[in-house]
Structure 1
Amino acid sequence: MLPTPYDRLHADLRAFIPAERLIVDPLRTLAYGTDASFYRLIPKIVAVVQNEDEVARLLHHARALGTPVTFRAAGTSLSGQAVSDSVLVLLGEGWRGCTIPPGAATVTLQPGIIGAEANRKLAPFGRKIGPDPASIATAKIGGIAANNSSGMCCGTAQNSYRTLASMRLLLADGTLLDTGDAASRAAFGKSHGPLLATLRDLGERTRADADLAARIHRKFAIKNTTGYSLNALVDFEDPFEILQHLMIGSEGTLGFIAEITYRTVPEYADKASALLLFPDIAEACRAVALLKAAPVDAVELMDRAALHSVQGKPGMPAVIRGLDERAACLLVETRAADAAALTGNITAINAVLAGCTLLHPAEFSTDPAECEKYWKIRKGLFPAVGAVRKTGTTVIIEDVAFPIDRLAEATVELQHLFEHYGYHEAIIFGHALEGNLHFVFTQAFDTDAEVDRYRRFMDAVAAMVVNTYEGSLKAEHGTGRNMAPFVEMEWGAQAYGLMKEIKALLDPHGLLNPGVILNDDPEAHLKHLKSLPAADPLVDKCIECGFCEPTCPSHTFTLSPRQRIAGWREIARLSGSGEQARREALHAAYDHQGIDTCAACGLCSTACPVGIETGLLIKALRGRRATPAQRRLGRFAAEHFETALGVARTGLKIADLARKVVGNDAVTATAGALRRLSGDRLPHVPRSLPTPLNFVPGPAAGGGPAVVYVPSCSSRTMGPAADDPEKTPLPQKVEGLFRKAGFRVLYPEGLSGLCCGMALESKGFAQEADAKADEMVAAIRAASNDGHLPVVIDTSPCAFRLKRHLAEDGLKVLDLVEFIHDHLLDRLDFTKRSEPAVLHLACSLRRMGLEGKLQAVAAKCAEQVVVPDGVGCCGFAGDKGFTQPDLNAHALRHLKAGVPQDGKAGYSTSRTCEIGLAHHSGMPYRSIVYLVDACTTAKVPEAQAARAAEPAF
């Protein structure tokens, strides 16, 4: 039951927002209220809005009832600006618009599009948006603009404030203004003339005060996101410009950014990087000051403690290990429009560095792999600390900025503060070109003493940054809650008074994100601290940053990996708290939201800073909750696998017979009705259901080098869909292709009972799954002469599972795509098709790093290769497409729009994924083998004979 007035607000909102987008249950309000900061507030209502009208009406009702409202995009903010104990407003699917005019000098973006996605759309034009935060692959444009996020390369010249062209915004009273539209400006001038006059007056007063204006200019000469963007008052006279620039960095406290038009910046393809090592931090910082005038695009500073945290990681340069404890380094990148200009940049930079003391000569590399190795050092710093923190502590990353000429002494003083307050694990790194330092440390909040240590440390940091160096307490992460008590200290009473006037003018009732940026409570940063209790060793290292969320097929459908972990932590915390009723309520909801609808695809681990695979936790929980009967069934399936496949085959036969008698539409409709009547206990029957297959290999035939081919159990059981024009089963197609390329195909003994164990593992039966994998390994070891012959698996999930299972074994298995790319391309003649090849990059293929090889193979076959936007994991997840079809539908909601009109077939590397892909795209999906076979012929006999005589491996 919601407390008044929230129950009334909930009723009012239901008049125009569907119930499924108004979240009030205890699990999801907890989960959706979680952001990347170390604060915890649980909203009363989470409202998912889809358009401007819904936002305006929500603001109207909230204002009438006096209920605060907080807007949130991706929730990657680190300072507590995206949490609320009132109404949390999230962006739904309707906010992903991107408009690029001819020439791409500007781009118009809605707040729900992810920054990296915007850059992908701009890439063909050689342009990008200016802001480049480290979270750009997750952070959405609304949050990037509302926090004035910057990053490694954009500095102060290319952030949202500097590259803003126009904006659509909604004020607290629900009024919409489009600053790029003359009619909207005119209407706003009539309805809000006094507001514009006040903004004009604030600007005139500020510019007339020479000391204040000079202070503002000086404060924003370096990175600064503390408080409001007061530079708008001195940079502009037009009140519309003042208003829209005040919105940048306002963290949702002044209004809602509904759309933003940026001036884009060049994205140069020619780049070079160098790792520069210095004897001490002072010399490194002196080099930074000199490099400021050089043609550099990024200069990242790392202290010795930072380098210690990554020096043992794979791929790190060996030279790091031998550095003196006083050493420091700079990672420098330069970019140019062409190779000649890049060479000129490097020459100019080396001339500057000639006046510096380096431990080794500067060596710039243009090799992308080498440069990536350098940048892995920088990107690995934050997770390196997170990975070694004690369970129960959180990782805090703060950012400050200093004038460049005082960067060295400020860095040393910051290191002394770490020692004094006992943060011995702390590291320092940052965007040195802008005087911007990040420092990372671990902190527990479970005792008063620890909270007090944090308080004393932050007081000391604030005093040092402001009083000693006149720096910025927040350079790019936003003021939020944790720096709000210090805003007046940094800016002084006069400037702080201006900020309060701005807030009162634009949010007179104080309902927009209260407590953020301006907060009269001097201890606000010490309240509502989030605990990270032990929940399970598989996920205890999670810092709830949310980087995983864009990869997750169930995100916004039920829960994301971050939300699953947050929910399970709370259930674990409540286990010994005496709050049994709340724990039971959360646990009951978690069965469906957390466990049943998790695809366990593992893509979250590829985006996680500390490599957490949330699916491993979910599979473990499935095993723990399994009933004795379910365990017996799992053991029976493992021990009688051929029988289990026979049962599946029988089901497919029944469906196929029904389809032949009454038609595909009738079968699908009837099955859907029966599923609903059963309370979703019966399986979903997609239109693209495979026909039954019982593949039994024939004897080995042909000459040439041998290859061991292992068709997966799904490939042996599931033939093409009934409505697929292609009727040849996958194993036959693979064998035919291999023979065409001059290979002799062998199969392991006992194939009909073999399985990698993937299906059992996904149900939580780890022991049985590993037993099946061991059986398969023994069979392929025998067939391949203990690994002397290549072993190829035709389904990526199975290949991936066996690769992991064999990680310490030495026996090598190849995914089908891997084998085609590495060993068949030069044995076949290709003829390209004009019809586009539409690809689905299966999760397991991505996790094996083979998506590039699949695209390369497809490019040999087709003039155009298309990977639909917005499609990651398909959510079919083995059998989830049958048992949880809404997950599959949600994961593929953007698929049809991404398929070109002339697309006639899609290609993938997982038979079960292809079922859902075909169902939701309306066209057949098949293994990539079908495309390769259709586009190739055998080499001419002479060349083929020469190939056959050569050793293939």
Structure 2
Amino acid sequence: MRQEHQAFLATLEQFIPAERLISDPLQTLAYGTDASFYRLLPQLVVKVETECEVARIVSAARQQEIALTFRAAGTSLSGQAITDSVLLILGDGWSGHEILDDAQRIKLQPGVIGAQANLYLAPFGRKIGPDPASINAAKIGGIAANNASGMCCGTAHNSYRTLDSMRLILADGTLLDTGDSDSVDAFRSSHQSLLEALDSLARLTRANEQLSQRIAHKYRLKNTTGYALNALVDYADPIDILQHLMIGSEGTLGFISEICYRTVPDHPHKASALVFFDRLQTACEAVALIKPTPVDAVELIDRAGLRSIESKAGMPAIIEQLPADAAALLIETRAGDEPRLGQQIEQILQAISALPTSEPVQFTSDADTCAQFWAIRKGLFPAVGAVRTTGTTVIIEDIAVPVEQLASAVADLHRLFEHWGYSEAIIFGHALEGNLHFVFTQAFDTEEEIRRYSGLMDDVAELVTARYEGSLKAEHGTGRNMAPYVELEWGKEAYNLMWELKRLLDPQEILNPGVILNRDPKVHLSNLKPMPAANKLVDACIECGFCEHTCPSRALTTTPRQRIALWREISRLERSGEDPARLASVRGDYTYQGEETCAACGLCSTACPVGINTGDLTRAIRHDRHPEGSRSANWIASHFAGVTKAGSLLLNSADKVHGLIGTSNMRRLTDTARKLSGNRVQQWTPAMPTGNPQRRKDLPVADSSRDKVVYLPSCASRVMGPQRGSASEASLMDVTARLLEQAGYQVIYPDNLESLCCGMPFQSKGLFDTAANKAGELNRELLHITENGRIPVYSDTSPCSLRLGEQLDPAIKLYDSIEFIDRFMMERLDITPMDEEIALHITCSATRMGQATSLKRIASRLARKVVIPEGIGCCGFAGDKGFSTPELNASALRNLKPQVEQCSGGYSSSRTCEIGLSHHSGIEYRSIVYLLEQCVKTTTQRRTGTEVEH
């Protein structure tokens, strides 16, 4: 760490806890990555929790002249969220929201994810205006600071246009709340000279007719290049000017600690059409004709873009038959009711009726079909990223041109791609705004490649600014990669005005220096991020960060994006041999930071645009650390019945000791044993299960009048009973069997049940051969007991169901408990809902299997109110990680208890997950099957209802 930063760290240590001050080389390397193609290694990373902390840090930075950069989710594409100085990241204290005026307005803190804000507003039929493609991961702070827009947002509903008020912290540490008259009055008094200077600049700008007209022209298009100079002409009050300058300022003028948006309608009725044209020119003519109609989104996809996805499953067959100059428009219209929607569709169809299309135009309001259409559009960026050459990065740029010049701009861009050798480049974009995205792959490992990239960007900048008077950054923010071109786009007078604003609000240039305005004409070619091959499982990663909010270790150690970035560095060091000492240090630190604290749950794959499961990398690393023929693993697998029986006996023994000495003494005893053993003794908690008696179930007498079902209890269900003091003393096996019989099924158990296992405990530790052997053994038994798939299989634990679904013979019809209950049992049972408020945990495996909706539907039928806690995805228990690495479970569930403490109980679909959930929530979590049994009349004996699919 540089000397000046050591002094700054000493200052922060006076009021920031040590665990939130990160300076070790591994983690600063991890935080050196955002979604852009740049890398800078921060000297210090600070997790901030409050406005007071930010204000004190900013004040200290001003006194010591230390540069600060703010980061929300780090999904920015232009290098605006990285630094080689001090990086401030948002902790848990920034997720507040307040709905105002019947949801006409909403206050949001910067740590709220955009999609979550819309979930808050959904019951009111409203949403926030900005709708970036990254909305499921991007946080409000970044959305506002970059003026991010999206497919439907346009220029009318972005952060600038829908801003009502904000709380902001300036470079001198002052907090201003523009929605509080007292705060505003105090600020007018304390910062009179600043406001007078802003007022003067605004008056001069409005009086400069040529400059005013240029600003008006620039913002008729989508534009995030440079500062929001339109604030100087749109508003007279310096307070309004100031808060609107903050929008799109990328953290270079201040910190937005809260924003109040005016919301927009979220119409429930929607229809989409994917329209193909043989000529790009015709598609662009259609855009101009559609623009005046009641349309919400029009996405243009060029022929190269269509070609990149034409061979994927589910794509319309016509795509492969389209000519070389073809293009497509994805059109969406929304309305408050069905009749209005029909009228709008008719208006759109009428507008383009004279234009030739490759096939007849058909709108659909079918949700699945519409989702498929939009999946085509959203799949374009990852389609390029997933097939790029290893070692290259994928770059997405965005420009805007007048809509009437859309076709010629696309043609000109294609000529530039051909000239510079970017044959794989594709173009798509928000056509209504003339906003084009172009995606291409780029290596930065040679000077020639860097020169090629530089040449392309110089030509693009000249083309967009000179020929089309467009914007070089329509919605992705200026960042570092367009900073050299701001003056080219805006002209010297406007550029100098931007510098005046920067010096006025940040005279020492301590806030994100080098971003937006930069005097280095080659800054966009500096600090380029290496993307070396690391492992074929993750080489397709584009480091976008969409995965990070799903990761249970994100607040403890590293995230999937960071793990991959670190493993790339380890791989690079291994190949280069340049620094053996550093390699040894990084590898050693990675063991805990990257591998041991990875739950390997795979939730990251559900958010990843290219489907990467970073857990696969973790398991591969564990595999390399364990010889495949591990004698202990093979012995356990061969003696599985005895091992599980011993496990059950051990749990019962521990429970008896617990009963004898009490909870406090038991905790002290086990904590001491764990500490003395160097954490080799597993963590004990009061939520530990009792042992489930191991007993062989005899097959029931055949009953031809009942449907048969094979019940496959997981090894966890067979070993673990309820926790001490549970609301029910019955095991999951007993409750499940009773319910299946009540629903009219004849329950059958596999032979040799006690020895069977799906192999997951071995797979998660990288013992692949042992895992495969156990899965194969189970597969053979299930083929036998199900009569080659004639009888369905009920699996009572979601993680096991997920693995079995990937391993079993396709002939075997396996159903997870959630799916089986939802599809086949609910209609067979007489259910009386409980008048209770319950908590529901959707396991990562249930999410990956697409069972979340089914589980919510079941729970809603069984209880008056269902609470699904925010920010709780994977619980981090991860099989046995809750015992061996309990801090992972604790971190993942750190925000659980306050959200569920009013609930009568919690329910899920994984016995091990329920141990950690019970411990960290203060309420007992059990399988959803227990709640179902409570709600079912004991006299139910019906066979009518949905038949199981055989």
TM-score computed with the length of structure 1 as normaliser = 0.98
Distance in 2 separating the partners of 1:811 and 1:701: 21
Distance in 1 separating the partners of 2:871 and 2:84: 32
Of 598-607 and 888-897, deviating more is 888-897
Residue in 2 that maps onto 1:824: 825
Residue in 1 that maps onto 2:767: 765
Residue 282 of structure 1, CA deviation:
0.9
Residue 693 of structure 1, CA deviation:
1.4
| Residue segments in structure 1 that go unaligned for 5+ positions in a row | none
Distance in 2 separating the partners of 1:867 and 1:165: 30
Residue in 1 that maps onto 2:716: 714
Residue 524 of structure 1, CA deviation:
0.6
Structure 1 moving runs of 4+ over 4 Å:
938-941, 945-948
Query: CA 1:938 to 1:356, structure 2 compared with 1: closer, same or farther past 3 Å?
Result: farther
Of 311-320 and 555-564, deviating more is 311-320
Residue in 1 that maps onto 2:917: 917
Residue in 1 that maps onto 2:234: 235
Residue in 2 that maps onto 1:616: 616
Residue 827 of structure 1, CA deviation:
1.5
Of 159-168 and 863-872, deviating more is 863-872
Residue in 1 that maps onto 2:246: 247
- 1:795 matched to 2:797? The reply is yes
Is the partner of 1:43 in helix, strand or coil? coil
Residue 664 of structure 1, CA deviation:
2.6
Residue in 1 that maps onto 2:85: 86
Distance in 1 separating the partners of 2:827 and 2:54: 58
Query: 1:704-753 CA deviation, whole Å, 9 max, x = no partner?
Result: 12111111100000000012020001111111111111111111111111
Residue 866 of structure 1, CA deviation:
2.2
Alignment of structure 1 residues 197-276 onto 2, 5 Å = 197-276=196-275
The one-letter amino acid paired with 2:132 is P
Alignment of structure 1 residues 599-678 onto 2, 5 Å = 599-626=599-626, 631-678=630-677
Query: 1:661-683 CA deviation, whole Å, 9 max, x = no partner?
Result: 11233212322233234333321
| Aligned residues between the structures | 946
Asked whether the 8 Å contact 1:700–1:744 carries over to 2, the reply is no
Residue in 2 that maps onto 1:855: 856
The one-letter amino acid paired with 1:739 is E
Query: 1:384-431 CA deviation, whole Å, 9 max, x = no partner?
Result: 001100000000000000011111111111111111111111100000
Query: 1:442-493 CA deviation, whole Å, 9 max, x = no partner?
Result: 0000001000000001001101000111000000000000000000000000
Query: CA 1:548 to 1:783, structure 2 compared with 1: closer, same or farther past 3 Å?
Result: same
Of 175-184 and 854-863, deviating more is 854-863
Of 412-421 and 656-665, deviating more is 656-665
Query: CA 1:940 to 1:671, structure 2 compared with 1: closer, same or farther past 3 Å?
Result: closer
Asked whether the 8 Å contact 1:740–1:937 carries over to 2, the reply is no
- 1:879 matched to 2:871? The reply is no
Asked whether the 8 Å contact 2:742–2:940 carries over to 1, the reply is no
Alignment of structure 1 residues 445-460 onto 2, 5 Å = 445-460=444-459
The one-letter amino acid paired with 1:193 is Q
Say which of 748, 752, 755 aligns to 1:753: 755
Distance in 2 separating the partners of 1:357 and 1:519: 48
Asked whether the 8 Å contact 1:906–1:925 carries over to 2, the reply is yes
Residue 952 of structure 1, CA deviation:
6.3
Residue in 2 that maps onto 1:695: 694
Distance in 1 separating the partners of 2:847 and 2:940: 35
Distance in 2 separating the partners of 1:191 and 1:378: 50
The one-letter amino acid paired with 1:709 is Y
Query: 1:8-40 CA deviation, whole Å, 9 max, x = no partner?
Result: 111111101111111001110011221000001
Query: 1:776-829 CA deviation, whole Å, 9 max, x = no partner?
Result: 1111111111111111111111111010113x6432311111111121122211
Residue 940 of structure 1, CA deviation:
6.5
Distance in 1 separating the partners of 2:467 and 2:47: 45
The one-letter amino acid paired with 1:875 is G
The one-letter amino acid paired with 1:866 is V
Alignment of structure 1 residues 380-459 onto 2, 5 Å = 380-459=379-458
Is the partner of 2:323 in helix, strand or coil? coil
Is the partner of 2:803 in helix, strand or coil? helix
Asked whether the 8 Å contact 1:843–1:872 carries over to 2, the reply is yes
Query: 1:111-131 CA deviation, whole Å, 9 max, x = no partner?
Result: 111111111111111111100
Distance in 1 separating the partners of 2:739 and 2:664: 34
Say which of 726, 729, 741 aligns to 1:724: 726
Residue in 2 that maps onto 1:181: 180
Query: 1:880-935 CA deviation, whole Å, 9 max, x = no partner?
Result: 1111111111111222222262x211111100001011111111111111111221
Q: Percent identity?
A: 55
The one-letter amino acid paired with 1:155 is G
Of 110-119 and 809-818, deviating more is 809-818
TM-score computed with the length of structure 2 as normaliser = 0.98
Residue in 1 that maps onto 2:870: 869
Asked whether the 8 Å contact 2:277–2:328 carries over to 1, the reply is yes
Asked whether the 8 Å contact 2:828–2:943 carries over to 1, the reply is no
Distance in 2 separating the partners of 1:325 and 1:897: 58
- 1:833 matched to 2:837? The reply is no
Alignment of structure 1 residues 129-208 onto 2, 5 Å = 129-208=128-207
Residue in 2 that maps onto 1:314: 313
Distance in 2 separating the partners of 1:574 and 1:946: 65
Residue 946 of structure 1, CA deviation:
6.0
Distance in 2 separating the partners of 1:275 and 1:559: 40
Of 859-868 and 393-402, deviating more is 859-868
Residue in 2 that maps onto 1:931: 931
Distance in 1 separating the partners of 2:671 and 2:466: 69
Of 891-900 and 317-326, deviating more is 891-900
Of 462-471 and 316-325, deviating more is 316-325
CA RMSD of aligned residues (A): 1.5
The one-letter amino acid paired with 2:883 is F
Distance in 2 separating the partners of 1:373 and 1:938: 44
Distance in 2 separating the partners of 1:451 and 1:468: 25
Asked whether the 8 Å contact 1:33–1:88 carries over to 2, the reply is no
Residue in 2 that maps onto 1:889: 890
Residue 65 of structure 1, CA deviation:
1.9
Is the partner of 1:624 in helix, strand or coil? helix
Residue 441 of structure 1, CA deviation:
0.3
Of 163-172 and 673-682, deviating more is 673-682
Is the partner of 1:873 in helix, strand or coil? coil
Residue 945 of structure 1, CA deviation:
6.0
Distance in 2 separating the partners of 1:187 and 1:823: 65
Asked whether the 8 Å contact 1:705–1:952 carries over to 2, the reply is no
Is the partner of 1:830 in helix, strand or coil? coil
Asked whether the 8 Å contact 1:229–1:246 carries over to 2, the reply is yes
Distance in 2 separating the partners of 1:16 and 1:632: 52
Asked whether the 8 Å contact 1:665–1:687 carries over to 2, the reply is no
Distance in 2 separating the partners of 1:116 and 1:310: 26
